[in-house]
Amino acid sequence: MNRPVSLLISAAFCLGLGSCGRMPHMSQAEACASGLDRAFTELDDAKAKGFSGTVSWVKAASLLSAAKVQQQFEKYPNCIDKVHRAREYIRRARQGV
């Protein structure tokens, strides 16, 4: 193989690896954003039903606030984790636990 062709193939391979590296990052960003939207909707629903005074509701609200900050700093795994934990607290608030 001549040198220009091998350089072209190497460059294409590196670009391909670079774009693959970004794909999970984008899916995490989307998971963070959609999780926050869902969780805030659930939190508002719980508040409307009178669960806003419960300890679980307060913990969920603080976790979602922290998750929003994580989203702004592009710390998507931390955001997703906080959203999952907040949604569990919201479920507990609905159950009265």
pLDDT, tens only, 37-68 = 999 999 999 888 888 778 998 999 999 999 99
Inter-residue contact 29 to 74 (CB < 8 Å): yes
pLDDT value of residue 97: 56
Rounded to the nearest 10°, the torsion over CA 85, 27, 47, 65 is 70
Question: Which residue type occupies 81?
Answer: D
The band of 20, judged by pLDDT with boundaries at 50, 70 and 90, is very low
Contact 89, 63 (CB under 8 A): yes
Domain boundaries, the chain: 24-95
Q: Is the pLDDT assigned to residue 34 strictly greater than 90?
A: yes
